[in-house]
Amino acid sequence: MSGPGKLLEGKKALITGSRRGIGAGIATLFAEHGADVGINDVTRDEEADKTIALVESLGQKASWHQADVGDTDDRTRLLDEFVQQHGRIDILVNNAVASRDMHFTKITEEFWDHLVGHALKGYLFLAQGAATRMIDHGHGGSIINISSVHSFRAWPHDGVYGIVKAGLNRMVQSMAHDLAGTGITANCVAPGYIDSRVLPDHEESSRGDDEYLGGAKSFIPSQRGGLPRDIAGACVFLASELGEYVNGQTITVDGGFLAGGVPPDSMPLEPGMPGAME
Ligand SMILES: NC(=O)c1ccc[n+]([C@@H]2O[C@H](COP(=O)([O-])OP(=O)(O)OC[C@H]3O[C@@H](n4cnc5c(N)ncnc54)[C@H](O)[C@@H]3O)[C@@H](O)[C@H]2O)c1
């Protein structure tokens, strides 16, 4: 490969919710950088097969782990299976989520329990399980939570999702403290507008284009939608030697979306307004 060379040579990385979308992008870039990867998801389908085949075509081992990160027994089995197959765990990326919007007045306990149980509790206990296994192995490691720009500000109906993502940002601060001296770093990556749609191969070049972005393009200084690979790049950095002094942080990867303050959704930019397209 061209560029900085392989940054994760020999590493063993488990990525949750990685049959498709951002998780698949992380698995693929990790493999390009020399890591063996574990692909986890709730179902195995054509998308999962495609991601596994892609990793293998890059010369790396890909193991498949069907598990629900919201289930206590599944989480333990997932980590045990991964370590059995790879010998150890060096990197965990908590990425899996099925999000839904809900107006504040309509939030039910069931909805709260589901999202918090999967995307906050599930992430915490997977991180704990990975950290204890990394400590036993004695060579440190990297734990990355995929957060969101929704962790920093609100959009309509995003209450529970935003609360969960903000919790992840705070979680890695506590992890950095409590894991001091172990060689384990804990960080979040907060994506902005990322085009994680399933697309046929012949439409891959349209990923993140104007049609996907619509009016949002005028809010994004980088002038394009994000790609799963953009998020994966930040993860590679954090999990590699280059990122080993970054700890307890949340790195925003949004093309500058939040940098200038996002106008409220109710106030679309008109030509001539600051930030509007010419
Ligand atoms: N796409 C974006 O614009 C965007 C923006 C900000 C943050 N994010 C975050 O990035 C991550 C990935 O998002 P995406 O867009 O690739 O989503 P996606 O829906 O394309 O992929 C998520 C994957 O997680 C799997 N999953 C869901 N629940 C699971 C469970 N309980 N156990 C195991 N796997 C499960 C799904 O089956 C799916 O394959 C999420 O944490 C999401 O909140 C995405």
Domain count within the chain: 1
Mean pLDDT of 17-22: 98
Residue 259 falls within a domain, yes or no? no
Which of 137, 128, 134, 91 has its CA nearest to residue 237? 91
Residue 45 falls within a domain, yes or no? yes
Task: Provide the angle, in degrees to the nearest 10, between the axes of the packed helices 122-137 and 72-86.
Answer: 30
Residue 235 falls within a domain, yes or no? yes
Return the bridge partners of 186, or none: 143
pLDDT for the residue 3: 67
The runs of H, that is alpha helices, within the chain are: 21-32, 46-57, 72-86, 109-116, 122-137, 159-178, 210-213, 228-239
Pocket test for ligand 1, best of 116, 149, 196, 197 (most atoms within 8 A of CB): 196
pLDDT of 202 > 80? The answer is: yes
CB 213 within 8 A of CB 224: yes
Residue 261 falls within a domain, yes or no? no
Residue 272 falls within a domain, yes or no? no
Q: Which domain range does residue 133 map to?
A: 12-253
The runs of H, that is alpha helices, within 138-246 are: 159-178, 210-213, 228-239
pLDDT tens sequence across 72-130: 999 999 999 999 999 999 999 999 998 788 999 999 999 999 999 999 999 999 999 99
pLDDT of 257 > 70? The answer is: yes
Check if 161 is active-site. yes
User: Which residues' Cβ are closer than 6 Å to ligand 1?
Assistant: 16-17, 19-23, 40-42, 68-70, 95-99, 118, 146, 148, 191, 193-194, 196
Residue 268 falls within a domain, yes or no? no
Say which CATH number the domain at 68 has.
Answer: 3.40.50.720
